[in-house]
A and B are shown apart, each in its own frame.
Chain A
């Protein structure tokens, strides 16, 4: 499906980023194309709000947890990333363990702009360059926060001219800006604000010459009716009958499909491919995922 090792999935809050990132990761792990074998994949987030993965329902922590065949999930938190970094950089780091847990150090990490973010990105870098995983899918923060995150290495390079942080920021920057290695996938809904944020993020990535695309539009409703059919149904008046209730459902669906089409129209201004995923009505996460994975596989297969 993608050739890059690091796939970053972002979009406006509430568009279903986690579901889309999970779908991509699962498909990569299974093997995306005909004859293509599955690759060992890890799905990573920085989001501290869940203790279990909302789609795969396995524990989320700093150690990768097997979620499906060939697929692992993990969550990177700043403290664990910093500890790992320190262990590698500083000899006899065991003696610093207490210090790392102290409030003084927490204060430092919080006050130093971008420090925690850089440490988390550092872990992502390790996973994408020097790990047993062939693919890293980053279930990234929403667009605004992701832009800040992407600019953290550059800001660090400006603020810290030499030393280990500078070195770290440099290699992370090189990874993120390399379109051979990193791709940003844009998740959206067919809603005006979500589409607008998507296009803004695309522009942001292009300005930095990052690899970007496709746009994945989540929850598209089927357009099952023609305008003339809706009109014809409007002429049937049979209040409160089963027929009226059914036709109202049809009318509302047609209305939503129309609104989605209109809201998605500005995506024609995108230079990315646009992939539409259908609305899958199921609150069982496993069934939802299965439906989306097979649909995505179809898109990839048919080009």
Chain B
């Protein structure tokens, strides 16, 4: 059996904690509760979420989350701030920083593709998230940053995003487009001309000329930021593999979610990243195997409502369901055996978490050790 995951120690010792997992496993709430735990341990922590989780902002006593960290009114020795990633604004800022001149900047902002970029250009949102992580760390105002990764269809997108964008801008496609349709024809692309004429004819046929012209304008302008982006993305990747950065795999005790955590762990390991462990939310804890006596049943039936079926039967049904839920969870958790990562179980809270006290209660569940089924 894997060792226990000490989350209290994790928030005291690390600089960056990246929470990853599929949607609906309580990732955002876990990130917030870790932040609470960190602040209560004396650290100055920032929780960065990507989802517009309005309710979470309210739980932290904020009207809404902002692109810059806002202090949460938490009575603790340390400090807790929360922020929400504003993709558009961060992207704008990135263009402003890296565009070589005013003309390029204007071209990018005016291009119709730029508006859609954050949602369509593979992984650009993830790149932005990482860019923002660097910005926050560089301010030096906080000593722990907890990142709630986007609920990506492919949870690994944010690792690949920087490299993918660089590959795209550096790639032959961009260069080919830039040559015949671009703002300026560059001599070095002559090499491509012959084959690219055919290729472009084909793409035109597939899509239409205007689309290609627009796209090439955009990529040409964007590729002028190439050096800056490349340098930045290398720093992001370096930060991700530092020992001070830990990945926390958040999941629910369901086969699909647990399998995904496994895939994720394999990938992180292959990339030389550091895994903190597995946090399993909403676990159904084992129920002692007990049987009611006839005397117990009689006592219960006497307490039941007059116009209802026997209370003892209903109580026993609830007991049976609780035991079967725990057994089902235990069977699902067997998937984690091969991982051999430290893990921590948080029991099912049986309710939605609405408020700062709820988050504090959650953070207590993160601190205390829970018996594994």
Which of A115, A191, A224 has most B Cβ within 10 Å?
A224
| A180 sits at the interface (CB 8 A) | no
Do A166 and B208 touch (CB < 8 A)?
A: yes
Rounded to whole angstroms, the CA-CA distance of A83 and B314 in the bound complex is 58
Do A229 and B303 touch (CB < 8 A)?
A: yes
When the two chains form the complex, which single residue of B168, B199, B290, B299 contacts A245, counting CB atoms closer than 8 Å? B290
Count of chain A residues with a beta carbon within 8 Å of a chain B beta carbon: 72
| B352 sits at the interface (CB 8 A) | yes
| A302 sits at the interface (CB 8 A) | no
**Chain B 140-192 residues near chain A, CB threshold 8 A:** 151, 153-154, 164, 167-168, 171-174, 176
| B194 sits at the interface (CB 8 A) | no
Rounded to whole angstroms, the CA-CA distance of A111 and B208 in the bound complex is 15
Spot the interface stretch: A58-66, A124-132, A140-148. A140-148
**Chain B 286-301 residues near chain A, CB threshold 8 A:** 287-288, 290-293, 296, 299-300
Within the complex, the shortest CB–CB distance from B65 to chain A, in Å, comes to: 15
Interface mask (A96-138 → B, CB under 8 Å = 1, otherwise 0)? 1001000111011011111101000000000000000000000
Inter-chain CB contacts under 8 Å: number? 195
**Chain A 249-288 residues near chain B, CB threshold 8 A:** 249-250, 252-253, 255-256, 259, 263, 281-283
When the two chains form the complex, which single residue of A107, A155, A193, A196 contacts B167, counting CB atoms closer than 8 Å? A107
Do A160 and B210 touch (CB < 8 A)?
A: yes
Whether A115 contacts B207 in the complex (CB less than 8 A), given A48-B154, A54-B256, A281-B321, comes out as yes
| B350 sits at the interface (CB 8 A) | yes
Do A281 and B324 touch (CB < 8 A)?
A: yes
**B112 / chain A contacts, CB cutoff of 8 Å:** 158-159
Rounded to whole angstroms, the CA-CA distance of A234 and B301 in the bound complex is 14
**A259 / chain B contacts, CB cutoff of 8 Å:** 350-352
| B215 sits at the interface (CB 8 A) | yes
Whether A165 contacts B211 in the complex (CB less than 8 A), given A14-B22, A228-B305, comes out as yes
Which of B121, B122, B290, B315 has most A Cβ within 10 Å?
B315
Whether A164 contacts B121 in the complex (CB less than 8 A), given A107-B172, A193-B53, A282-B328, comes out as no
Whether A163 contacts B317 in the complex (CB less than 8 A), given A14-B23, A99-B199, A141-B153, comes out as no
When the two chains form the complex, which single residue of A13, A48, A90, A166 contacts B205, counting CB atoms closer than 8 Å? A90
| B47 sits at the interface (CB 8 A) | no
Rounded to whole angstroms, the CA-CA distance of A255 and B316 in the bound complex is 16
Closest to A46 in B: B153
| A36 sits at the interface (CB 8 A) | no
Interface mask (B316-347 → A, CB under 8 Å = 1, otherwise 0)? 11110110110010011000000000000000
Whether A104 contacts B116 in the complex (CB less than 8 A), given A13-B24, A111-B121, A255-B351, comes out as no
Within the complex, the shortest CB–CB distance from A71 to chain B, in Å, comes to: 20
Whether A107 contacts B208 in the complex (CB less than 8 A), given A14-B23, A229-B303, A263-B352, comes out as no
Closest to B152 in A: A145
**B208 / chain A contacts, CB cutoff of 8 Å:** 160-166
Rounded to whole angstroms, the CA-CA distance of A247 and B53 in the bound complex is 36
| A80 sits at the interface (CB 8 A) | no
Do B23 and A256 touch (CB < 8 A)?
A: no
Interface mask (B298-316 → A, CB under 8 Å = 1, otherwise 0)? 0110011100100100111
Q: How large is the interface on B (under 10, 10 to 19, 20 to 34, 35 or more residues)?
A: 35 or more
| B255 sits at the interface (CB 8 A) | yes
| B271 sits at the interface (CB 8 A) | no
| A237 sits at the interface (CB 8 A) | no
| A293 sits at the interface (CB 8 A) | no
Do A105 and B173 touch (CB < 8 A)?
A: yes
Whether A281 contacts B325 in the complex (CB less than 8 A), given A14-B22, A165-B207, comes out as yes
**A175 / chain B contacts, CB cutoff of 8 Å:** none
Rounded to whole angstroms, the CA-CA distance of A92 and B305 in the bound complex is 78
**A228 / chain B contacts, CB cutoff of 8 Å:** 305
Rounded to whole angstroms, the CA-CA distance of A164 and B210 in the bound complex is 12
When the two chains form the complex, which single residue of A114, A158, A161, A245 contacts B319, counting CB atoms closer than 8 Å? A245
Do A145 and B328 touch (CB < 8 A)?
A: no
When the two chains form the complex, which single residue of B252, B304, B322 contacts A249, counting CB atoms closer than 8 Å? B322
**A14 / chain B contacts, CB cutoff of 8 Å:** 22-25, 252, 257
Rounded to whole angstroms, the CA-CA distance of A160 and B151 in the bound complex is 30
| A68 sits at the interface (CB 8 A) | no
**A282 / chain B contacts, CB cutoff of 8 Å:** 328
Do B206 and A90 touch (CB < 8 A)?
A: yes
| A239 sits at the interface (CB 8 A) | no
Closest to B207 in A: A165
Rounded to whole angstroms, the CA-CA distance of A148 and B125 in the bound complex is 14
**Chain B 201-258 residues near chain A, CB threshold 8 A:** 202-203, 205-211, 214-215, 219, 252, 255-257
- Can you name 29 A-B residue pairings with CB atoms under 8 Å? A14-B23, A14-B25, A49-B260, A49-B263, A104-B171, A104-B172, A107-B173, A111-B173, A112-B215, A113-B117, A113-B120, A144-B151, A158-B112, A161-B210, A163-B210, A164-B206, A193-B53, A229-B303, A233-B300, A233-B303, A245-B288, A249-B315, A255-B351, A256-B350, A259-B350, A281-B325, A282-B328, A283-B331, A283-B332
Interface residue ranges, A against B (CB under 8 Å): 12-15, 18, 47-49, 54, 85-86, 89-90, 96, 99, 103-105, 107-108, 110-115, 117, 141-142, 144-145, 148, 155, 158-166, 191-194, 196, 224-226, 228-229, 232-233, 236, 241-243, 245-247, 249-250, 252-253, 255-256, 259, 263, 281-283
6 further A-B contacts with Cβ under 8 Å, apart from A160-B207, A256-B351, are A12-B24, A114-B120, A224-B314, A246-B290, A247-B315, A259-B350
Task: Kindly list the 10 A-B residue pairs having the minimum CB-CB distance in the complex, ordered from nearest.
Answer: A14-B24, A13-B23, A163-B208, A107-B173, A242-B290, A113-B120, A259-B351, A232-B303, A13-B24, A249-B322
